[in-house]
Structure 1
């Protein structure tokens, strides 16, 4: 806490004398507009909560290899990498099915999202993203289940309408030293006054990831990927727009490096890993204050995950396949209830159909033997809700409050127990009060209640999962959270600073409980139950300061402390103290950006961490790495170079199954017309 105190004092002192009228530049931090927190446009400075925004400019500068890596260095976000073809973001110590991911307002989370790190964020092509918004500590009222730690909202790029018909294109080529990446991307955009069309394709080849000074090449970890996307905008009449979009990602032979390296597997990979999303969205504005703006979205999303497993010295190969088909319908209405009173209200429904099977076969020449997959085949999961979020502005005070009523219907047919139907429900709310002492500062306190409904992964999993043999569980209730936060935001044209303290109480947590005296093939047997309580508290701070017309410095620091109150031990996989500090220079299209990332040692380990072979004995060592970014951006082309880990430090983010990249250069060349 002393770090946050002195950090705040430093910022307040350096603020004096700056930001006067006539400054030619502004800090970006806290000046961006967010739509995630309250399902309506609002300056992040005015939001009574912690929001981080990764703009298209930052994405262009960093040129992230993957969508998870686009979140590296974001305040309050810690990225774990089980393997090179994965990446799971921790928001305030929580990840997996306890963190919600949205694409253009549509849930990526489905009924098979599992507890702990997963790979699904990596199934989003970073070339399609125009902006990322991260709401830390909230999201259940606005978006429903899973937002215990927060919400990650990925907003894809849109074509634009133009008065005169025009065609534009872009071609991107990227290469990394050591053959770690060879990517090409081509896209085109046709615009007119009533219609705009955008389409693109990405072909990506990832070689084995090369670690730091003592690690070297981590093989096998490379894989191939082919992505396609298009988006069509139709201007129906003034204020009304129809959008049709599609995106698909197809990844082949994605190895789980740590399992092959540490667990005697000849093959352990995702092959294939696919995701497709199509949606139709109607937006419109009216003259009625109670229906100022409305949005209706219909979506269809499919995921296909096959896991190919074969141990060394064995002829038996297993292929587990899970397919989830999700259709969704959401309706949102923005209203002006009164002069200083706005509301965002709506309804949504999502329905999952889960197909799951397993094939065992002797290689070569054996006949395939089909059996039950990881989940009961033809499982169904219905998610429906009503919500309303309100904001009232009275002089310097802003009151935000809202609620959501959410219901579920889960239908599972089990070979032993027969047909099982469960209908859990949740009622959650949030409230926040903000006070602006001046036009440059904002002080707030907020409360968010959140929930995660039990899903098919919780209720129907059977088989070996995370070093255990798991039995189905059919009497689970939603997990609950109560997140309290106080924060302060300060901004001028040259300077911006935000800090927050939070405390998140978690209850009814679903965890695996051992079935006493039972083993299957020598492996202990577990079943999930709502038996745990926990709390996570911490602090975050972020700043940006313009040193002149061309120079700025920036930094962030985040800390979380988790306690499992039921077992009197730390919460699993809690990230250590971590942060980033950098300096940037921009002039006439050129930029240079040296920066350092760090994480301290994490030796507060739960029993599950101690048995996790991804975590070294004694805990994950601390590390500091230095990166250098440089580039030139012109009207028709740009060149971006990222030199990572200049000191070739051998490091691993806590809980990862593969080490971070060593000294390397990633070069991206973009041509535009």
Structure 2
């Protein structure tokens, strides 16, 4: 695999420029805009940060069945799948509650997000998205807790006004071989001088995932998904507009596949897995240099996670349900103090209310016993912060500096731990220096400090999680990260190059520590503690080379090395060396995109990896898959197809509980009016 990465870089960098590309491929690269790093629009070239960006064209051509699927193959992102109805992105070696996800700037993360892989990104409908950005190695100053590894920003469809009344419509259907997917999307929109509106409904029926080679059908892994989204924009005055939005996702009977395969379960599933988000955003402009742009957002998000489990040979059915309601209030002000000094500043407040309950049903006796839920019922979490990010430009130099003060108030009341109330605080900062020797290049160095405050999942969990039994903990401190980065970007002719080296130091990591000599129902007992120091370092490279008007070669590679300083062993679940290589042909309405995705073997295992039955003894084997994506757009109709895993490779991404899809065909037909 190292040879593949080396040869791909060598080939791409040595190709001669045969023509100056002038088609949409070059336009897409040159006009790429990022907003995640500093809460303000910047071109990809000028940003002093490593950002992976997936635009609407790429989302459409990738045919990701889920939002985690859409991120697979992005530079610096490695997606783990415990089951088909999950998908947890690793950003620079970290995942779960150590990576922050936002939807239109609103936190998806709440106070019950788990350490390690989780399934919550899969509760976002990819057909509702227009763009995805991944800020690697930063985000705590701009967006708060959890951004130790980075920040994933999901943007839904943007609305605009029109001079005359206009209507739009979309019908989309996708099917996959072996019954792996049958999906429908209906979408309608309207725009006028003062009002714009869009609504969509997605219905998805996922069958069991069929793996490659000798794996075959992985049953049970299929589930059903229903998603609805509506968004409206209202013109108030020439300077002010109001956006209102609602989205909801309902998933039924989502099996945790590896529990059936490896842990002797008759039933183990998420049912239901629901999420809804409603928000109101008031945006305005002003002539004052202090308040050039202002945005106020009020949001309400609700998640509901039900879990059912029953072991083979047992008559006991265990049922748990957690419902988390989150109220969010954010205010952001963009200032332009001078031509060369701009700033984004604001206030954020999020309040969580946690309801958790459980019961055990004896199916033979017909009896039911209520029990404590996974979390203390009635727990609350208040998260509030103030931040300010500034940018200074002097000739060819650019300086970024920012800071945030964040406070929390976490309350739990439970028979197992009594009354607990903690109020941790965190102060973080970032700084970057960039030098643009020409309008086509940018070399920068940056520092980001980050934090993750202990949450209700850390403090209040009681019960079986994955393959261990967890006890509540309290007195935990925030986790901290210190990320250093050196990067280089180049856009010249048809060559677009991004490279970065990074080093992330992690302190006060909250880890599960085994309670010596204790077991409950034959399961080892663990409790979370601030016990670990670690470091993660690595390198990333991404290249796009447009060697003719309609031809592009692309390649990327990511290397991540993680080490626990405290335990003197590899850090848990570190992704292996991985990357992609391909070529894209896009003449007008046609596109062809053969590509190769690969990952080297991962044999550097922590003690936790070795005890994880999802990871084979000795480590996860390396793999290579070859995919072919193609499509054609007519005036109204659009056809996309993906021939996946052409050589039927049997593989799974490191740490996953289910193998990837084998040789298969996925076809999407769209009619847009």
**2:257–2:657 CA contact under 8 A, matched in 1:** yes
> Cα–Cα, structure 1 residues 426 and 4, in superposed 2: closer, same or farther, change >3 Å?
farther
Between the two proteins, the alignment pairs up a number of residues equal to 672
Q: Which residues in structure 2 correspond to 1:434-583 (within 5 Å)?
A: 434-583=434-583
> Cα–Cα, structure 1 residues 662 and 417, in superposed 2: closer, same or farther, change >3 Å?
closer
**2:250–2:274 CA contact under 8 A, matched in 1:** yes
Q: Which residues in structure 2 correspond to 1:120-269 (within 5 Å)?
A: 120-269=120-269
Supply the distance in 1 between the matched residues of 2:23 and 2:300 (Cα, whole angstroms): 48
**2:18–2:547 CA contact under 8 A, matched in 1:** no
Q: State the 1:492 CA deviation.
A: 2.1
Q: State the 1:634 CA deviation.
A: 2.3
Supply the distance in 1 between the matched residues of 2:631 and 2:526 (Cα, whole angstroms): 53
Q: State the 1:2 CA deviation.
A: 11
Secondary structure at 2:475's aligned position in 1? coil
Supply the distance in 1 between the matched residues of 2:276 and 2:365 (Cα, whole angstroms): 33
**1:23–1:493 CA contact under 8 A, matched in 2:** no
Q: State the 1:382 CA deviation.
A: 0.2
**1:27–1:492 CA contact under 8 A, matched in 2:** no
- State the TM-score, normalized to the length of structure 2: 0.97
The runs of 4+ residues in structure 1 deviating greater than 3 Å are 1-20, 22-25, 27-31
Q: State the 1:418 CA deviation.
A: 2.2
Secondary structure at 1:70's aligned position in 2? helix
| 1:450-502 residue CA offsets vs partner (Å, 9 max, x unmatched) | 00000000000111123222111110000000000000000024110010000
| 1:85-137 residue CA offsets vs partner (Å, 9 max, x unmatched) | 00000001000000000000000000000110000000000000000000000
When structure 1 is superposed on structure 2, of 581-590 and 515-524 the one drifting more is 515-524
> Cα–Cα, structure 1 residues 181 and 23, in superposed 2: closer, same or farther, change >3 Å?
closer
- Residue equivalent to 1:425: 425
**1:27–1:545 CA contact under 8 A, matched in 2:** no
Q: State the 1:167 CA deviation.
A: 1.4
- State the TM-score, normalized to the length of structure 1: 0.97
- Residue equivalent to 1:318: 318
Supply the distance in 2 between the matched residues of 1:495 and 1:82 (Cα, whole angstroms): 37
Supply the distance in 2 between the matched residues of 1:126 and 1:364 (Cα, whole angstroms): 42
Q: State the 1:79 CA deviation.
A: 0.4
* Structure 1 gaps, min length 5: none
- Residue equivalent to 1:60: 60
1:275 aligns with 2:275: yes
Q: State the 1:204 CA deviation.
A: 0.5
Supply the distance in 2 between the matched residues of 1:206 and 1:571 (Cα, whole angstroms): 34
**2:511–2:531 CA contact under 8 A, matched in 1:** yes
Secondary structure at 1:388's aligned position in 2? strand
- Residue equivalent to 2:354: 354
- Residue equivalent to 1:611: 611
Supply the distance in 1 between the matched residues of 2:610 and 2:189 (Cα, whole angstroms): 52
| 1:403-456 residue CA offsets vs partner (Å, 9 max, x unmatched) | 000000000001143221100010000000000111111000000000000000
> Cα–Cα, structure 1 residues 48 and 406, in superposed 2: closer, same or farther, change >3 Å?
same
Secondary structure at 2:313's aligned position in 1? coil
- Residue equivalent to 1:389: 389
Q: Which residues in structure 2 correspond to 1:28-177 (within 5 Å)?
A: 28-29=28-29, 31-177=31-177
Supply the distance in 1 between the matched residues of 2:24 and 2:466 (Cα, whole angstroms): 55
- Residue equivalent to 2:665: 665
> Cα–Cα, structure 1 residues 262 and 439, in superposed 2: closer, same or farther, change >3 Å?
same
Supply the distance in 1 between the matched residues of 2:574 and 2:339 (Cα, whole angstroms): 45
1:376 aligns with 2:376: yes
Secondary structure at 1:97's aligned position in 2? helix
> Cα–Cα, structure 1 residues 578 and 148, in superposed 2: closer, same or farther, change >3 Å?
same
Secondary structure at 2:660's aligned position in 1? coil
Supply the distance in 2 between the matched residues of 1:6 and 1:342 (Cα, whole angstroms): 42
**1:158–1:198 CA contact under 8 A, matched in 2:** no
> Cα–Cα, structure 1 residues 30 and 364, in superposed 2: closer, same or farther, change >3 Å?
farther
1:625 aligns with 2:638: no
| 1:634-653 residue CA offsets vs partner (Å, 9 max, x unmatched) | 23110000000000010110
Supply the distance in 2 between the matched residues of 1:477 and 1:217 (Cα, whole angstroms): 44
**1:446–1:486 CA contact under 8 A, matched in 2:** yes
**1:282–1:297 CA contact under 8 A, matched in 2:** yes
Q: State the 1:565 CA deviation.
A: 0.7
- Residue equivalent to 1:409: 409
> Cα–Cα, structure 1 residues 120 and 24, in superposed 2: closer, same or farther, change >3 Å?
closer
| 1:326-356 residue CA offsets vs partner (Å, 9 max, x unmatched) | 0000000000122200000000000000000
When structure 1 is superposed on structure 2, of 397-406 and 410-419 the one drifting more is 410-419
| 1:382-411 residue CA offsets vs partner (Å, 9 max, x unmatched) | 000000000000000000000000000000
> Cα–Cα, structure 1 residues 497 and 118, in superposed 2: closer, same or farther, change >3 Å?
same
CA RMSD of aligned residues (A): 1.7
* Structure 2 gaps, min length 5: none
Supply the distance in 2 between the matched residues of 1:575 and 1:403 (Cα, whole angstroms): 30
